[in-house]
Amino acid sequence: MVVQELAERAKSQLKDITGLMPSAVTEAFKDDLGWHITLEALEMARVPSTADVLGIYEAILDEEGKLLRFQRKRARLRCQTTEE
């Protein structure tokens, strides 16, 4: 399975579990645990939109795209573009 398909499966499965629709895939790599897909999802819309709260999630999938584990790693404001 190609990484684009794995990313789409991660987005779909994360939505099913959390009810949040992931808007971006920010990282994807494979190691001994499986495929690690990092996603951003809108958790709280605010005005202005630069104050929106985005959750950063890591999903680990097997070779067939089955979700093995997911974790919310952190949250950030949309206006934060660098790691703190």
Given this model, what pLDDT does residue 1 score?
A: 82
Tell how far CA 82 is from the center of its chain: 17
Confidence of residue 84 (pLDDT cuts 50, 70, 90): low
Given this model, what pLDDT does residue 83 score?
A: 63
At 16-73, the pLDDT tens digits run 999 999 999 999 999 999 999 999 999 999 999 999 999 999 999 999 999 999 999 9
Cis peptide before 22 (omega within 30 of 0): no
Q: Domains plus CATH for the chain? A: 3-77 (3.10.450)
Predicted TM-score of the model (pTM): 0.90
The set of long-range contacts for 48-54, using a CB threshold of 8 Å and a minimum separation of 24, is 49/78, 50/77, 50/78, 50/79, 51/77, 51/78, 51/79, 52/77, 52/78, 53/77, 53/78, 54/23, 54/78
